[in-house]
């Protein structure tokens, strides 16, 4: 598949941002030219720790249905990246609204919150002093869904200590269903794992009528003037039967890891990163019944608009954007040469099948194929090579930016039906026999005042 994007936008920040863009998009056939436009409205105000931030985007690329049809908005749909308030009082910080949000580690391969900065309705409180830091974050997943998704919510907590240039943290998340917001997960400082077990146990007058799926992990990072190093691990499930019941069934280890860092030199900042996850990590728990506890924004992989359209994994995972069953490597480069900002990356990812919506992929229950740890043991694996280069600079008060993306994917992941033994109408991503070459060129201009 060959694609070219030519984007020209004008951005006005501080009062209102107006964006008007043209794009030339070539898809599959070079003679099949489609037009693409984007408009951005942005408002931003910051005063003594108070930040007022709003960003509304309009696109007509056909990804989502037009808000009012072609008659009124000419095929444009609206998308909100940010719309909220941030209160920053040095040691205390409180954020609320629809906001792009991130993990506590600074890496393209963060595990608990995606480095893609996917926007969501959040409530976030953080505190930090010279020795200790703590953060609690609520993330809205589904609320009164028009597509029939049950109400779902998630909560992230991080507890950390600081010693010298090091930070060590315990992180955890919980996804719950049948309510979009459980206030106790947000305000109770006790880890989510114990909050769940206290509140769902029957025989108490305060028992909740729903369960939750918890994941947990640790991170360690180091920061000084010239470098940043980190390590992060996430545990969705560990097979303890190998120790306590070696002759019994063996649960799969469901873990993810991420390591790397960057160093500043006189030639620029260089970064190197590695991450991966075993099969079934981030998937819903249960034997084909608890389909709504996956670590995703939506408990499905498709949506209906002009037929069935795919929810891409990197736009669905709350955490690590490559998801389960993969091994990834990335090198990065950042520099400023005579006012020209350069930001580049080269990524290589090996992936097997992924099933954000089904507990055991193509199987209805774990006993059919989920026993034991699985990692890149598919018959066919996807191999993806992705190069990105972005350059921006100021020119007579305008910010000029352009970018190049080259990507070659061998045995590209495609959405397929599950096996006939599966009783649930959810699809999964599997490597195919298709190869794809994709290239994308961006040109843009931004004006701010």
d(CA 309, CA 66): 15
Report d(CA 3, CA 21) in Å as an integer. 17
Q: How far is CA 283 from the centre of its chain?
A: 14
Same domain, 220 and 76: no
Q: What is the pLDDT of residues 73-83, one digit of tens each?
A: 777 888 898 99
* 126 or 394: which leads in pLDDT: 126
Whether the per-residue pLDDT at 230 is higher than 70: the answer is yes
Q: Give percent of the chain with pLDDT exceeding 90.
A: 49
Final residue belonging to a domain, choices 20, 50, 82: 82
pLDDT above 80 (res 24):
no
What was the pLDDT predicted at 26?
31
> Do residues 112 and 319 touch, judged by C-beta distance below 8 A?
yes
Q: Could you tell me which of 336, 341, 333, 337 has the C-alpha nearest to residue 402?
A: 341
Q: At 2, give phi and psi (nearest 5°).
A: -115, 130
Are 210 and 309 contained in the same domain?
Answer: yes
Residue 31 pLDDT greater than 80, yes or no = no
The pLDDT of residue 394 is above 70 = yes
- Residue 444 domain-assigned? no
Domain that holds residue 54: 1-82
What pLDDT digit, counting tens, does each position of 305-348 carry? 878 889 999 999 999 999 999 999 999 999 999 899 999 999 99
Q: Which conformational region is residue 370 in: left (phi greater than 0), alpha (psi within -120 to 50 degrees), or beta?
A: alpha
Total domain count for the chain?
2
Residues 173 and 265 in one domain: yes
443 occurs within a structural domain: no
The answer on 190 and 117 residing in a single domain is yes
Position 123 in a domain: yes
CB neighbour list of residue 273: distance below 8 Å, 6 or more residues apart: 107, 108, 109, 258, 259, 260, 261, 328, 329, 330, 331, 332
Q: Are residues 52 and 116 in the same domain?
A: no
Residue 220 has pLDDT above 80, yes or no: yes
Strands 33-36 and 23-26: antiparallel
Q: What mean pLDDT, rounded, does the chain reach?
A: 83
pLDDT at 425: 65
Residue 441 in any domain: the answer is no
Q: Who has greater pLDDT, 58 or 30? A: 58
The two three-digit tokens of residue 334, written as one number: 């950042």
pLDDT category at 49 given cuts 50, 70, 90 is: confident
Mean pLDDT score, 381-391: 95
pLDDT score at 13? 35
Whether residues 172 and 284 fall in one domain: yes
Q: What angle do CA 271, 272, 273 make, to 5 degrees?
A: 125
Domain membership flag for residue 372: yes
CATH assignment at residue 317: 2.40.160
Q: Give the mean model confidence (pLDDT) for residues 4-29.
A: 34
61-70, 106-115, 351-360, 427-436: range with lowest mean pLDDT: 61-70
Same domain, 237 and 133: yes
- Does 218 fall in a domain? yes
309 and 182 housed in the same domain: yes
User: Helices (DSSP H) in 153-274: which residue ranges?
Assistant: 183-187, 192-200, 241-244
In this prediction, residue 55 has a pLDDT band, given cuts at 50, 70 and 90, of: confident
| Under 8 Å between Cβ of 120 and 96 | no
Q: Please tell me whether residues 338 and 297 are part of one structural domain.
A: yes
Length of the chain: 449
Whole-number pLDDT of residue 162: 97
445 domain-assigned:
no
Give residue 393's pLDDT band: very low, low, confident or very high (50, 70, 90).
Answer: confident
Q: State pLDDT tens for residues 170-206.
A: 999 999 988 899 999 999 999 988 888 888 777 778 7
Do both 31 and 118 map to the same domain? no
Q: How confident is the model at residue 20 (pLDDT cuts 50, 70, 90)?
A: very low
Q: Is residue 315 part of a domain?
A: yes
Question: Does residue 60 sit in the same domain as residue 201?
Answer: no
Same domain, 100 and 65: no
Structure confidence at residue 122 (pLDDT): 97
Q: Lowest-confidence range among 106-115, 387-396, 419-428, 434-443?
A: 419-428
């Amino acid at each position: 598949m060959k694609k070219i994007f030519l984007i020209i936008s004008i951005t006005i920040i501080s009062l209102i941002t107006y964006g008007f863009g043209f794009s030339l998009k070539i898809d599959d056939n070079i003679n099949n030219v489609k037009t693409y436009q984007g408009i951005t409205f942005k408002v931003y105000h910051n005063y003594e720790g108070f930040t007022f931030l709003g960003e509304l985007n309009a696109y007509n690329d056909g990804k989502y249905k037009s808000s009012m049809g072609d008659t009124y908005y000419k095929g444009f749909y609206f998308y909100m990246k940010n719309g909220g308030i941030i209160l920053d009082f040095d040691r205390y910080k409180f954020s609320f609204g629809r906001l792009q949000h991130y993990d506590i580690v600074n890496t393209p391969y963060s595990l608990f919150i995606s480095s893609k900065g996917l926007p969501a309705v959040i409530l976030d409180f953080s505190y930090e002093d010279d020795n200790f830091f703590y953060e609690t974050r609520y993330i809205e997943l589904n609320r009164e869904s028009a597509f029939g998704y049950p109400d779902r919510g998630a909560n992230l907590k991080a507890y950390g200590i600081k010693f010298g240039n090091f930070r060590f943290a315990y992180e955890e998340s919980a996804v719950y269903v049948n309510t979009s917001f459980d206030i106790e997960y947000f305000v109770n400082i006790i880890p989510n794992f114990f909050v769940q077990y206290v509140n769902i146990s029957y025989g108490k007058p305060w028992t909740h009528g729903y369960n939750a799926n918890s994941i947990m992990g640790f991170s360690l990072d180091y920061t000084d003037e010239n470098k940043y190093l980190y390590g992060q691990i996430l545990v969705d499930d560990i097979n303890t039967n190998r120790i306590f019941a070696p002759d019994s069934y063996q649960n799969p280890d469901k873990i993810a890891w991420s390591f790397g860092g960057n160093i500043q030199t006189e030639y620029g900042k260089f970064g190197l990163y590695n991450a991966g996850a075993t099969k079934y990590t981030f998937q819903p728990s249960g034997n084909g019944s608890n389909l709504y506890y996956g670590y995703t924004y939506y408990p499905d992989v498709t949506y209906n608009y002009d037929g069935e359209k795919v929810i891409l994994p990197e736009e669905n995972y709350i955490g690590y954007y490559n998801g389960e069953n993969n091994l990834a490597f990335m090198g990065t480069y950042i520099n400023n040469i005579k006012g020209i900002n350069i930001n580049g990356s080269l990524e290589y990812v090996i992936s097997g099948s992924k099933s954000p919506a089904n507990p055991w992929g193509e199987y209805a229950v774990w006993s059919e194929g989920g026993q034991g740890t699985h990692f890149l043991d598919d018959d066919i694996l996807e191999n993806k090579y992705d190069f990105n280069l972005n350059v921006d600079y100021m020119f007579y008060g305008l910010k000029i930016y352009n970018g190049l993306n080259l990507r070659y994917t061998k045995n590209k992941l495609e959405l397929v039906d599950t096996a006939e033994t599966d009783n649930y109408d959810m699809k999964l991503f599997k490597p195919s026999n298709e190869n794809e070459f994709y290239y994308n060129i961006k040109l843009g201009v931004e004006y701010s005042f």
